Amino acid sequence: MKRRVYLDHLSGGPLAPEVSAAMRPWLEEIPGNTASLHRHGLKAREALDTAAAQCAAKIGATADDLVFTSSGTEANNLAIKGVAEAQRERGTHLILSNIEHPSIDQSVAWLEKQGFTATRVPVDREGRLSVGAVTEAITEQTILIATHHANHDLGTVQNLPALGALAGDRGIPLLIDATASGGWLPVDVTAHSISLLTLAPHRFGGPQGVGVLYRNPRVPLAPQLHGGVQQDGLRAGTENLAAIVGAGAASALPAIEVTPLQQQLHGGLLERIKQMILNGPEPGPDRLPTQLNYSLAGLEGEGLALALDMQGVAIASGAACVTQNLVIPPALTAIGLDAAQAKGNVLLSLGRDSTAADVDHVLEIIPKQVDKLRTLSPMWDA
C-alpha cells in the first residue's frame, strides 16, 4: 500500500484521539439540548460550560465571554458585522490589512456597501503590518481595527503587543483573527488588550463545524442570527454540542513543538529544489511554525498538488477558501509576486500527527515531481 503523508493541516487535520473520545458520547449515547430543563439538558449545559472553560483557558479569557459558532468564518463575520452595527452611531470607519482572510475582507466589503468606509493598510514584502501605518489610518470615525495573529497564506506573525497597545490607547476595539495560529502560538487577550479574537479548532486537533469568538463584554455586539436566546442571545440556534465539546478537548491538549519539523522540511527542500522562493518570513519567531509557502519557477502549483496526490502526498496550492475559484491569493499580490510566481504557489502545513519520518518521505517525493513537471513545462524551458 502506498504511504500517504498529509501536509494540508491548515485546510483541516484529523481529530486528535483525545478529541474523538470526548465527542463520541455526545454523538452516540447522550441526548440533550442545553435549553432543556430535564437532567439531559443539565448534562448538556455542563458539557458546554466545560468546553467554554477549556477554550477560554487557551487564550487567557473567561468562559462567559465566549460565543460558539459554526466556523471561524462565522466568528469573524459576527465580530465585524456585530461591532459595526452596534457602534454605527459612534462611527463608520474600519481598519484592516490588505492580506486578511476572506472572512474578514469580505465582511468589511459587505459593510462598505451598507455605507461604512474602510482603510486597507498595505503590508511589507514579508507580510508585516506596520503599527505606524495603522496609526496613520485611524480617524475619529474608526470603530474597529481587524487583523490576524498569523497570516493564513504567508505565515507572518504580527506584532500583537504593539497593536494591542495602540488600540487600547485609542479606545478602539481590536479584532484578532487567530484561526490560523490558535493552538500553535500563545496568545493572551488580556495581556495584549485584544477586544475580540476568533479560533478555528479544526486546525489544532478539533473538529470541523465549530468556531470560537471571544468578546470583551465591554464591546457592544449586535447578533447576526435571530431566533432563540442561546448564548446570551448573541448566536441563536441549538448549539452543535458534540463539536463544541471537541473544541474544548482540542484546546486542552498539551502543546507540541513542530518548529524542528518545519526547519527540517524547509532546509531539505531548499537543498533539493532550485529556483524556489519562500514567501513570508524565514522559519523562526516571525513565522507560524506549522506552515511553509513557496513559489516555484516553471510550473503551476495546482499541477504539482495533483501530481503529489497521485504519489500519496497531500499539499495545497493557495488557501482552501480561494483555491476552488483558481484565484491568486491577495496576499501574494500584496507582497509583490507576479502572475507566474503566484501560479507556482504551493502551501505545506504540518499538524499534530506530522513526524520526522513523514518529512523524510516527502523530501524524496516532492523534488522528483518538481523535476518531472518542469521537464514538461514550456515555462521552464523559457
Catalytic center residues: 321
Cβ–Cβ under 8 Å, residues 119 and 141? no
CB atoms within 10 A of CB 252: 18
d(CA 58, CA 51): 11
C-alpha cell belonging to residue 149: 495573529
Q: Transcribe 318-360 into DSSP letters.
A: S-HHHHTTTPPPHHHHHTT--HHHHHTEEEEE--TT--HHHHH
Strand, coil or helix: what is 98?
coil
Handedness of CA 316, 321, 322, 323 (dihedral sign): positive
Amino acid identity, position 214:
Y
Helix axes 72-86, 102-113, angle to 10 degrees: 30
Q: String of b and e for 330-357 (b: at least 16 CB within 10 Å)?
A: bbbebbebeeebbbbbbbbbbbbbbeee
Give the Cβ contact number of residue 360 at 10 Å: 13
Dihedrals φ, ψ of 246, to 5°?
-65, -40
**Beta strand spans in the chain (E):** 5-6, 66-69, 93-97, 117-121, 142-148, 174-177, 196-199, 211-215, 276-278, 291-296, 313-314, 345-349
Grid cell listed for 265: 522540511
- C-alpha count within 13 angstroms, C-beta hemisphere, residue 132: 1
Q: What is the side-by-side strand order in the sheet with 345-349?
A: 276-278, 291-296, 345-349
- Helix/strand/coil for 364: helix
Other CB atoms within 10 Å distance of the CB of residue 29: 7
| 315 burial via Cβ count (<10 Å: 0-12, 13-18, 19+) | buried
